[in-house]
Amino acid sequence: MRTATPLALCAALASTALLAGCGTETAGGSGTPAASATCASASPVADPSGRTWDNVTLVNRLCGPSGAPVTEFEVTNTEKEALTFTITFALMNESGQAMDNTTRTVESVKPGQTVRRTLDTDDEPVVARERPARIIKVRAVPADEASSGSGTCPPSGIRVTADRGDAAMGLRVVGLHLLNCGTAAYRVEGYPGLQLLDEGREPVSGVRILHGTDKISTGIGGDAAPRPVTLQPGESAYANLAWRNTTGAGDAVNAPYARVTAKAGAAAVTVTPELDLGTTGRLGVGPWTKDDTAAR
């Protein structure tokens, strides 16, 4: 991008996530920043390790409107369908230690498309911290199956999401959440449908999906008998997933993705519960239960 605008205009535009960076120009589409009259030249990320992961690359820390470095990243879709990417970054200190993590989602990247974004947002001004970053995890799902907790309500009228879960002594519990964001009542009964997928989003075999979490552990909220649940607009339900990550003989199974169908015939939504199933070969699934604590 070529710019000759004053630095003040650069500052006004910098909050737009679509901009690659202000006060710089990229020569020949190579991604290498050239010197600019409006800000100082930028230096590459000091530590090259962790700069590229699954078609996501940290690019040079370009000069932002304040003159401080801005960490940016590029996402390239090499597949044949539109993908939504969620990238987890570690923010490092000067000693190279990870201080905290942050995630960014890039929606609906078309096949063959490369999209550049900045780590800076109004809520998390990474530029103010002046920290280098490192990619630690990339998840990509088909755009038409992407899970979203905000934005426009999907045509199905429901949102399906997975929470961050809880872990203790090898026991894992993650909640699936079903929100009626539509305008009509939505009825479910029984258990959510699940298809487990590996890192390459290929089906995982050899795992028994059990109805009821009591077969994994008791007292974790997924052992009740299924009952009909009717959700009015704004109401939600949940279903717990439970497993143990015990590792014994054989190969450990990791299934970061799960395709979830709220009920028979519903559109699938791909979530990322990060199922580290070890060699147990079992996943317990609780029934849909109305969430009476959720605010409408």
Would you state the structure tokens that stand for residue 132, as one six-digit string?
A: 């280098």
Q: Environment class of residue 227 by beta-carbon count within 10 Å: exposed (0-12), middle (13-18) or buried (19+)? A: exposed
Residue 68: what pLDDT?
62
Residue 49: what pLDDT?
59
Q: What is the pTM of this model?
A: 0.78
Residue 284: what pLDDT?
97
Local confidence pLDDT in tens for the 296 residues of the chain? 333 333 333 333 233 222 223 322 222 333 333 333 344 444 444 445 567 788 999 886 666 556 666 778 999 999 999 999 999 998 877 777 888 888 999 999 999 999 999 887 666 665 444 567 889 999 999 999 999 878 889 999 999 999 988 877 789 999 999 999 999 999 999 999 999 999 999 999 999 999 999 989 988 877 889 999 999 999 999 999 999 998 888 889 999 999 999 999 999 999 999 999 999 999 999 999 999 885 54
Cα–Cα distance measured from residue 124 to residue 107, given in angstroms and rounded to the nearest whole number? 19
The partner residues of 89 in beta bridges, in order of sequence, read 102, 135
Residue 76: what pLDDT?
96
Residue 250: what pLDDT?
83
Residue 60: what pLDDT?
65
Please enumerate, as own/partner, the contacts of 12-20 that have beta carbons within 8 Å and a separation of 24 or more: 14/64, 14/65, 14/120, 15/122, 17/117, 17/118, 17/121, 19/118, 20/62, 20/72, 20/116
Residue 168: what pLDDT?
75
Residue 124: what pLDDT?
62
Residue 204: what pLDDT?
96
Domains observed in the chain? 7-143 (no CATH), 158-290 (2.60.40)
User: How many Cβ atoms sit within 10 Å of the Cβ of residue 57?
Assistant: 17
Question: Which residue has tokens 């999401």?
Answer: 161
